[in-house]
Amino acid sequence: MRRKLAAGNWKMNGTSADLAQIEALAQAHSSALSEILIAPPTPLLHRASQVAKSKAITIGAQDCHKRERGAHTGDVSAEMLLDAGASYVILGHSERRADHDEHDEDVRAKARAALAAGLRVIICLGEELEEREADNTLDIIGGQLAGSIPDDISSDSLVVAYEPIWAIGTGKVPSIAQIGEVHDFIRARLEKRFGHATAKAIRLLYGGSVKPANAAEIFAVENVDGALVGGASLKAEDFSPIIAALDES
Ligand code: PEP
């Protein structure tokens, strides 16, 4: 049985005043069936993990460096994130790939560092609109999966997020059939690479303009085990109904 996961990516949003959102979520979902994860910006990690402590919320980071330590001004290692209270790290988000020129091999190296430090990784894969229109979606996703996911994963340490780039923050969402096709494809590729038992236990998230209004129909898709949510995770009042829809799916 895969435990459902509702993951909120706050991106570069939030200061200490927003920790109240985590508190509100923890109170509203103290007996949630789904796992609830918030990935706040790095300066909030420690305080967020204090707020979430012994509550129904886990805390994640949004990136890490591929090296353990050293002369990398401004960067943060996986061990530091763990020490600050994170138990997950999101890697290969399309905004990191675009803004920081991160390629599959960078994502893979970061994932290896994160796993070695004891973090779980959420690895993001997704196609551009032109790639979808050219009918190249599955080739792109297959290539990213092969390149970004390291060999030494376990079903517990890896979560894969399918995030079509054209759906992130745009209000556009693929059709239910399109989401289902990509999630089935990812599951099949994982099975080929890691074997049936491991692949069956890896959680696959959909991300891209998930809102309270569309969450239930997305969560009804086979092989969708939860969501990676940006904008709608910033306020407890928006994220809460998404978590509730996941619990009910
Ligand atoms: C994201 O950034 O991972 C994301 C899915 O954003 P949004 O929900 O705002 O589209």
Share of the chain above pLDDT 90, in %: 94
Domain 5-248 maps to which CATH number in 3.20.20.70, 3.40.640.10, 3.30.930.10, 2.40.30.30? 3.20.20.70
The pLDDT of 200-219, averaged and rounded, is: 97
| Identity of the amino acid at 135 | D
> What's this model's pTM, rounded to 2 decimal places?
0.96
Q: List the one residue out of 54, 123, 124, 118 whose CA is nearest residue 86.
A: 118
168 lines ligand 1 (CB under 6 A): yes
Write the pLDDT tens digit of every residue in 158-172.
999 999 999 998 999
The whole-angstrom separation of Cα 198 and Cα 82 is 25
Top mutation candidate among 93, 96, 123, 163 for ligand 1, by most atoms within 8 Å of CB:
163
Active site residues: 93, 163
pLDDT in tens, 34-59: 999 999 999 999 999 999 876 779 99
Specify the pLDDT at position 30. 85
- Measured CA to CA, the distance from residue 26 to residue 12 in angstroms comes to 22
Q: How do residues 65-88 score in pLDDT, each as one tens digit?
A: 999 999 999 999 999 999 999 999
> Which pLDDT score is estimated for 60?
98
Domain boundaries, the chain: 5-248
